[in-house]
Amino acid sequence: MKQLVPIVTLAMFCLFASQALAQNKQEVRLFYSFSYTDFTEGDERDGASSYSLNNNSEFGILYLRKFSKRFALRTGIGYSFQKLKTDHKLPDFCGTPPVHESPSFSRTRPFESLHIPVGLEVTLFEFLYAHGGIIYSDQLAGGSDYRNAGLGYDIGVGFKYDIGRFSLHVNPNFKLRNAHYFTKGDKIEANTWGSSGLDFMIGYSF
């Protein structure tokens, strides 16, 4: 959680710095995201374990403050939930195991994380924008042998349709996040996992 302090400080500084320049150009967006997670980690040797993430979904809120006609600060908070599958490969000490036994077994459990993005959004056309920035992630649930924590980044483009002060958004994006894989002997290996997703959002400007 110590890494969270500079991220929050940076976000607050940018918000206050842009407040003097903004002219009633704030927006709040609620989003729900579906994504495909391209991640598998582990060892193929007997007695080792491998990990994979499935069914990745995320929801949250974004806050935007424009400091020019085209540029806006973008931050917020998101909660993601996946299924973490662990495949344990049992060592074969006696040759081929009997038919009624399995040489491996799997376990699936919830994998929940909190994410705080800080970045910029650039308006390209009235209906099209692009965004990019960093993401701080911290795991809430999922076990101690695998942990999602640290800094990553996200990039994407968005399409919007304005209805008065409200707006509808479809936002294809890619997110790369940090993860730590705890091996035997408390050895820690740093890895990353990426997800290609589609965010559906409803916004309100004020």
Strand blocks (E) in 92-187: 104-125, 128-141, 146-147, 149-163, 166-182
What's the average model confidence in pLDDT over 7-25? 56
Provide the β-strand partners of residue 86. Answer: 51, 107
Q: What is the mean pLDDT of residues 170-194?
A: 68
Q: Pick from 37-41, 65-69, 111-115, 143-147 the range whose average pLDDT is largest.
A: 65-69
pLDDT digits (tens, 9 = 90+) for 36-61: 876 655 444 445 566 677 768 899 99
**Whole-number pLDDT of residue 37:** 75
Worst-scoring range by mean pLDDT, 103-112, 138-147, 156-165? 138-147
Q: Which domains does the chain have, with CATH numbers?
A: 4-89+104-205 (2.40.160.20)
* Mean pLDDT for all residues in the chain: 76
For 8, the 3-state DSSP assignment is helix
3-class SS of residue 145: coil
Confidence of residue 111 (pLDDT cuts 50, 70, 90): confident
Query: How far does the chain reach from its first CA to its final CA, in angstroms?
Result: 32
Residue range 162-183: mean pLDDT, rounded: 82
Q: Report the alpha-carbon angle 125-36-124, nearest 5.
A: 5
Residue 87 has pLDDT above 90, yes or no: no
- What integer pLDDT is reported at residue 170 of this predicted model? 97
Q: Which two tokens stand for residue 114?
A: 């909190």
Distant-in-sequence, close-in-space partners of 20: CB < 8 Å, separation ≥ 6: none
pTM above 0.75, yes or no: no
Question: How many helices (H) and strands (E) are present in the chain, helices listed first?
Answer: 1, 10
pLDDT interval class at 176 (50, 70, 90): confident
